[in-house]
A = this chain, B = another copy of it.
């Protein structure tokens, strides 16, 4: 009985009757250790655990790596699941590849947040990439992920990756560099939350956009985009970016471990011109290895919302500004990615 043996993995245990052939399940023990997340105050989600692999705390956040039965290894920050082994490829392929493929020749990328390393990992699959700046506020989280997330280890060690520990807003303000693509891999713009200021029209206009090269593309995760949830932040992010960039493209995908459909928004002053076929060619030529979730056809289809969400995007008038938030600049964790 080694330590690897697993008392919790019992849900399929069966005892057969002895030789009388009835063969029914007499006992089926239930898992007894669970990770529980409050998705909302009135909605919870629980995953049976194999083990609690690693835990830690940082100046800003608490962090854990859990081994769940259903979704594999899961990274938890401040009690919210960030990504799960079984389906993180959906989120990260969607966040990274469309923007890089729509760009004709992306060489430099700036990641706001992304300390987990998976976003960098996907970016570094592109043969054209020469430099990736990953700017995360939380050094301990970055160290934790570098140490424990085996799938991202190679990316963390890639020489093209430049890690900066700083507030992404402050870093973009002070940097002299411009980038082909900027990727927003931050917490949602909850008013008073840590990342609100990185989603405002003012930030996009005055701080972010000037740091994009000509024909540069900005892409950001844009929160839940389900039929019941897309008005929380998705439609506002979309609308805010429409006020700053000439061309904006929203798309969505269901991420099982997020218990919702998720949204992303790309924005640029160049039009997004690429059909499914050309995107497939780009994937084949420019990306090392196989993608698991995205291909040309499915990406195009993911930019068509259902009627309910589409109508909301059309009608949305809310714009994130520093004024309309009940937020006090410079206070607490609010400006930190």
Tell me the A residues contacting B by CB distance below 8 Å: 1-3, 5-8, 10-12, 15, 17-18, 20, 22, 24-26, 28-38, 40-52, 54-58, 62-64, 66, 68-71, 76, 78-79, 86-87, 90, 140, 143-144, 226-229, 253-254, 256, 259-261, 291-295, 297-298, 300-302, 304-308, 310, 331-332
Contact = CB atoms under 8 A, between A and B. Distances in A.
Q: Residue among A37, A46, A64, A294 with the most chain B CB within 10 A?
A: A46
A227 B1 contact: no
Given A79-B30, A308-B292, A42 B52 contact: no
Given A30-B41, A36-B34, A42-B47, A1 B256 contact: no
Nearest to A11: B41
Contacts of A31: 41-42
Q: Residue among A11, A43, A144 with the most chain B CB within 10 A?
A: A43
A-B pairs with lowest CB-CB distance, top 3: A42-B48, A11-B41, A301-B304
18 contacts: A1-B58, A3-B54, A7-B64, A11-B41, A20-B20, A30-B38, A32-B35, A33-B36, A40-B70, A43-B47, A44-B44, A226-B256, A259-B259, A295-B310, A298-B306, A298-B310, A300-B304, A302-B306
A215 to B, nearest CB: 27
Contacts of A310: 295, 297-298
A320 to B, nearest CB: 21
Contacts of A11: 41-42
B25 A26 contact: yes
A116 to B, nearest CB: 15
